[in-house]
Structure 1
Amino acid sequence: MSVQLFEGKDHAAIYQKYRFPPSPDLLNIIFSYLEEKKGKPYDLAVDVGCGSGQSTWLLVPHFARVLGTDISEAQIEQAKRIPSPSHVSYCVFPAEALPVEDGSVDLLTAFAAAHWFDIQPFMRELERVLKPGGSVSLSSYTLNMKIRYGDCSEALSELFRETQAVLKKHANEKLHVLFSEYQEILDLMPFPDKKRIIFQVNETSFTVAGLMGFLQSLSMFQMFKNAQPEAAEAFLQQTQSRFLETMKVSSPETPLEITLEYICVLACKTPKEKVAT
């Protein structure tokens, strides 16, 4: 069963507000792959571990039906608060037992979620639900981020690495899949037509306060907070102060530029060859 670490309503709201949505570069990679392997028209897309629906919405213009699933009721409630077109739906289901028919899915996606799944049962479910010629994209940003601001970019990036080092002490064991850049997911993917892409993109519309919100959205911080609430809050405040001092500014709304690193495992369920009769 998938790991459940995003159950709280407050956490779901933070997640929806501060998590980075998938980048346009990532979407171009996914849809180019799908077009190459199957081609239009596209009927059903399933976004597994959809959280508050940020990634699900990006599928809406391309498919006749879009389904977002997540194991967290709080996350699905957050997703449903945003009015959706009639062909979009959300439901609470584990990644390893999806509420769709055999061979019905054109594209299955999971963004910043697959490392939480019970991977081997999920791979069996993937084989079941994909159409012949259907594709899967399992992607995430890593914590290999670079911060840019004036002449203190390297100091800020090092500060962010130090912050990660503290939070990693509170990491769930499932995060080793992410820390190893989805190598295990690539190895266990049941389809021979598969590949992994690692690339970097720039995000410009972010602030110091937004970066602190992103840190709060991480499961590592939430586990730290659950175990030591006062220490976690003090650590967050200290981190913000160190950022502002390094930048020589006073406002948490000061904008930053952030370089994100993405991992994307792509695969296609190859149609079985017709047997001559």
Structure 2
Amino acid sequence: MDSASASEGPAAAAGATAPPPPSSAYGQLGPELFDLQAAAYAIYRPVYPKHLYSSIMAFGGEALACRGLALDVATGSGQVAVALSELFAAVVGCDSSEGQLSHAVRRPNIRYVLAPAEELPADPGSVDLVTCAQALHWFDVQRFYNEAGRVLKPAGVLAVWSYGLPVIESPLRNIPYEALAAANSLLEQLYSVTLGQYWDERRALVESGYQGLEPDGAVFTRVERQELTMQAELSVNAAVGYLSSWSAYAKFRRCNPDAEDPLVAFKRQLMETLQLEDDECDGALVLRSAVPLILAQGPVPQS
């Protein structure tokens, strides 16, 4: 079953511009914030739908037919790396967070490496596919694109995607529209108001779907955007568990150790609003998210 989840950051207008590049991966936050979230990431971060990988493979065509080496950047606990391990002979997953990598799912053909996106752990022209899920906004984008171009084969493919704040829906269409609207308002309140000040400013880039961050012709000869979706049927506990993996939630808890856990109140209000009694019932909620996908092929040799 595919998982779905909310995006990381407050709502922002499309076409948001990138802030100055950080001095290192993750900028001022540092990978330690992601170390703190590692367990929640491992359990609750989304398993992306099969049609996303099908879209990537179709875009690459013959260049990906050999299914040799894939490199997943900012791999976290390895959700994408595991999916790629079923498609490619060998996978490397890299991340700047030791805590995240300590929770990464192991497979015989996956190797995990502590490395930032701006210094990819691969030889020039050795990689068939480079992927990056929900992490481009943390990088020095141009340096990352240059590095991806360096390690990719001449017809290699880069795939970058994010996902937006989900819409809560009813699996059997048996929840009144008014109740669903109220539930989505609760989620927006949590996301933008309760946790609003704790989001990093670069989350605006996620909300824009990375519009304007596509690589240009100086780096790749072919660039394309696709607009996909993903959805999942989840229990209330699973949905709230995902929210606990938000970086803004981790920062809120760190800054307000004595405050009431905002997810406790959110869960209570959500169940009351939707008149749900069982927080462990699988499929009680449907979460649907947009998944903008940036695809690039044919790295331009750099002088």
TM over 0.5: yes
Question: Which of the residues 136, 144, 167 maps onto 1:146?
Answer: 167
- The residue matched to 2:198 in structure 1 has which SS? coil
Match of 2:289 in 1: 260
Matched residue type, 1:169: Q
- More relative contact order, 1 or 2 (CA 8 Å, 6+ apart): 2
Q: Does 1:19 align with 2:45?
A: yes
Match of 1:275 in 2: none
Is residue 152–residue 299 contact of structure 2 (8 Å, CA) maintained in 1?
Answer: no
Q: Does 1:35 align with 2:64?
A: no
Distance in 2 (alpha carbons) for counterparts of 1:155 and 1:98: 44
Matched residue type, 1:234: D
The Cα of 1:35 is off from its aligned counterpart by 2.0
Match of 1:49 in 2: 74
Report the aligned-residue RMSD. Answer: 1.9
Question: Which of the residues 241, 244, 268 maps onto 2:268?
Answer: 241
**1:101-156 CA distance string (max 9 Å, x none):** 0111100001112221111211111121111100000112112x111132222222
**1:86-112 CA distance string (max 9 Å, x none):** x21101000100111011110000111
Is residue 221–residue 300 contact of structure 2 (8 Å, CA) maintained in 1?
Answer: no
Q: What percent of counterpart residues are identical? A: 31
Match of 1:111 in 2: 133
Distance in 1 (alpha carbons) for counterparts of 2:286 and 2:129: 32
Question: Which of the residues 100, 106, 118 maps onto 1:96?
Answer: 118
Instruction: After superposing the two structures, state which structure 1 stretch, 120-129 or 160-169, moved more.
Output: 160-169
Matched residue type, 1:236: L
Distance in 1 (alpha carbons) for counterparts of 2:196 and 2:139: 19
- The residue matched to 1:199 in structure 2 has which SS? strand
- The residue matched to 2:25 in structure 1 has which SS? coil
State TM-score, norm by structure 1: 0.89
The Cα of 1:30 is off from its aligned counterpart by 1.2
Question: Which of the residues 238, 241, 254 maps onto 1:226?
Answer: 254
Instruction: After superposing the two structures, state which structure 1 stretch, 92-101 or 179-188, moved more.
Output: 179-188
State TM-score, norm by structure 2: 0.82
- The residue matched to 1:194 in structure 2 has which SS? strand
Match of 1:122 in 2: 144
What stretches of structure 1 of length at least 5 have no aligned partner? 273-277
Query: In structure 2, do the counterparts of structure 1 residues 8 and 114 end up closer, same or farther at CA, with 3 Å as the change threshold?
Result: closer
What stretches of structure 2 of length at least 5 have no aligned partner? 1-23
- What is the aligned length? 265
